[in-house]
Amino acid sequence: MRTQVAIIGAGPSGLLLGQLLHQAGIAAVVIEQRSGDYVLGRIRAGVLEQGTVDLMDQLGLGERMHAEGLVHGGINLGFRNTRQRIDMHALTGGKQVMVYGQTEVTRDLMAARVACGAKTVYEARDVALHDFNGKNPRVTWNKDGAAHELHCDFIAGCDGYHGVSRASAPPALLKTYEKVYPFGWLGVLSETPPVAHELIYSNHERGFALCSMRSNTRSRYYVQCSLDDKVEYWSDTAFWDELRRRLDPEAADTLVTGPSIEKSIAPLRSFVAEPMRFGSLFLAGDAAHIVPPTGAKGLNLAASDVRYLASALMQFYGDKSAAGIDTYSERCLRRVWKAVRFSWWFTSLMHRFPDSGEFGQKLQEAEIGYLLESKAASTALAENYVGLPMEA
């Protein structure tokens, strides 16, 4: 079997790349180790920057997103039992974000791939990448008791942090940077209306809290917790009581509670792998970088990666130029590190750190106070949250 681009991973980054290439007339096969149902069962974030929304529209996949997604022109910051809105729409000249779950993005992309007859291989076992530094790149896997081999020009590694793509890169050429945060997020998904129209990020002496949503009837809430914590330690009642303590009085009084339909603890980390290209192998999305969810950058960074990669491949096949693929890693990493910086800053601003001491706590409080009083500081937050411009 042969194609032009082999895409490893059928998450949103791999499927988005596949559709961009299909639209450009470039053949691609997506190879995924899990089943389609498993991929759709992943609970992930869903705040889309305008650039990500534009990509979905470009692919003709925006109808359901615009019908069901929630447009937000601002976010709320909770501090000292008060809440103040950051008007991102006004501060950025009309930019905004869209709340639309990553699961729904994936569902739309899956349906589009089926509709156009593009090939996706699910439940591919023992996936291996070969000769991506040579002249005969290929991917092998096992499925239904048979061995398969796909020859290609390029391999796009879109298979996440634990995938085979980054693990296949030559260790001597791979440099990684990592920061592990000393806390996690305990998250609850519930069939309850959101406590507010827009997200609430709360800095509280008991720890950070976030009020988010998936729709007008489904909410997602988080509280900062210890890395030693366990989901089974938290009943629904204990979670709701703790969340209320960390919110301003109005939000605490209007919070609608109910049984959790999903509950989990996620550690927080920042991670970047450099470079993002090894011969004919390109890393994209979580295969190359992880950010704390505080800044809502994970899915959006993946979208910008695949936009750069799709553009580079179109240039290669259309103009017979390697300029795009030669600068892919450098272009991506410039944007990646800006997002990593913002996610680190916002995480540091809103969370309680066990080793910061009284001096560090006073500095954090002073910075939040300055942010809420300064238009320049609020603008910097808004510009980063709605998404920095992608390079042309």
Active site residues: 72, 201, 293, 297, 385
Based on its alpha-carbon atoms, the radius of gyration of the chain, rounded to whole angstroms, reads 21
CB atoms < 10 A from the CB of 102, how many?
20
DSSP states of 20-85: HHHHTT--EEEE-SS-HHHHHT-----EE-HHHHHHHHHTT--HHHHHH-EEES-EEEEETTEEEE
Residues 302, 25, 318: CA angle, nearest 5 degrees: 90
Residues 360, 364, 365: CA angle, nearest 5 degrees: 120
- 91-96 long-range Cβ contacts below 8 angstroms, 24+ apart: 91/375, 91/378, 91/379, 91/382, 91/383, 92/379, 92/382, 92/383, 92/386, 95/50, 95/382, 95/386, 95/387, 96/50, 96/71, 96/72, 96/386
User: Which residues are 270's β-sheet partners?
Assistant: 179
Q: How many whole angstroms separate alpha carbon 10 and alpha carbon 106?
A: 8
Q: Determine how β-strand 82-86 pairs with β-strand 28-31.
A: unpaired
- 256-262 long-range Cβ contacts below 8 angstroms, 24+ apart: 256/192, 256/193, 256/195, 256/219, 257/190, 257/192, 258/190, 258/191, 258/192, 259/190, 259/191, 260/188, 260/189, 260/190, 260/236, 261/189, 261/190, 261/191, 262/43, 262/187, 262/188, 262/189
**What does DSSP assign to residue 145?**
T
User: Which residues are 221's β-sheet partners?
Assistant: 188, 211
